[in-house]
């Protein structure tokens, strides 16, 4: 029983990180209509910015996260302006190639600046908490709680504010949104900003339990792709649900079936869901 609760907790931690990354990816999908392959690289850059702010500038963990959000958000906006915006009338394949190009560029750049070695991010929340035989660490609790907070804030923003509604409008129909007077350029930039900030939050929360290194974006990006396909491309509830489904599948699958096959199990679930609902769990009619 203890094992089950412990593994549910482990799955929740994993799922939270996956969901945050997938949320950013799914939001941008609404604008680009392709998965943004460079999203993992944004995640990685966020890790380095937070780390540098903490170690070099000696800033507080939370301030470092805020700066990282701004920098990575800015980088995502720059990406949209310089690369994706000029390509908006081009065939989708051009966006894909550009996104892969950006990913390779950012990885090489980070390695050039910070080097290839593993770096450790020490968070101030290293304490271990034992509750009824289950081991929780403060950092993991922080991941779970922060993710929920971020999701609620994002939900309120998208559903209850006018600016949020424009983002949804744009993802539903770009021309229609333009016709009713929405400044599509501004909204596209805003979406990229949010997506970058989400990546920075996700990495800043999860890096203390792992390490910071140039290849770290790949860890989450492939998983995030699976999640947004599972949840329905462009769907926000889909990204959240998909993230937790994958997190729980990995931890429970590794425990009760086999550790070596935990990725296989995740993909079998993907196949099953797509067989029953070919457009994903929360697919919208629009696309």
Binding residues vs other proteins (CB under 8 A)? 3, 6-7, 10-11, 13-14, 17, 82-83, 85-86, 101, 104-105, 108-109, 111-112, 115-120, 122, 128, 130, 135, 137, 140, 206, 209-211, 213-215, 218-220, 250-251, 254-255, 259-260, 263
Least distance between other proteins and beta carbon 79 (Å): 10
Let me know: does 8 contact 16? Beta carbons within 8 Å: no
Question: Which is nearer to other proteins, 165 or 269 (by Cβ)?
Answer: 269
Question: Which is nearer to other proteins, 109 or 156 (by Cβ)?
Answer: 109
Least distance between other proteins and beta carbon 115 (Å): 7
Least distance between other proteins and beta carbon 148 (Å): 18
Question: Which is nearer to other proteins, 147 or 235 (by Cβ)?
Answer: 147
Least distance between other proteins and beta carbon 286 (Å): 27
Question: Which is nearer to other proteins, 33 or 218 (by Cβ)?
Answer: 218
């Amino acid at each position: 029983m203890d094992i089950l609760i412990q593994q549910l907790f482990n799955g929740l931690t994993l799922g939270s990180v996956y969901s945050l990354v997938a949320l950013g990816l799914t939001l941008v999908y609404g604008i680009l209509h392709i998965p943004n392959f460079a999203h993992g690289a944004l995640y990685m850059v966020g890790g380095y910015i937070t780390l540098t702010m903490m170690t070099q500038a000696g800033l507080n963990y939370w301030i470092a996260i805020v700066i990282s959000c701004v920098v990575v958000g800015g980088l995502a906006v720059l990406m949209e302006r310089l690369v994706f915006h000029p390509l908006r009338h081009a065939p989708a394949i051009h966006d894909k190639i550009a996104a892969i190009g950006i990913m390779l560029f950012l990885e090489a750049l980070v390695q050039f600046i910070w080097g290839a070695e593993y770096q450790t991010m020490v968070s101030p929340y290293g304490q271990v908490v034992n509750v009824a035989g289950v081991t929780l660490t403060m950092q993991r609790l922080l991941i779970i709680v922060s993710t929920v907070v971020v999701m609620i804030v994002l939900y309120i923003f998208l559903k209850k504010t006018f600016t949020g509604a424009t983002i949804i409008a744009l993802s539903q129909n770009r021309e229609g949104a333009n016709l009713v007077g929405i400044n599509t350029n501004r909204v596209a930039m805003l979406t990229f900003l949010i997506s970058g900030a989400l990546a920075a939050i996700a990495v800043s929360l999860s890096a203390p339990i792992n390490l910071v290194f140039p290849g770290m974006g790949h860890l989450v990006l492939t998983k995030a792709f699976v999640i947004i396909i599972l949840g329905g491309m462009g769907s926000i509830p889909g990204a959240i649900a998909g993230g937790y489904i994958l997190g729980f599948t990995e931890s429970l699958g590794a425990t009760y079936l086999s550790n070596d096959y935990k990725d296989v199990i995740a993909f079998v679930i993907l196949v099953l869901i797509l067989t029953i609902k070919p457009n994903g769990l929360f697919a919208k009619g629009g696309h």
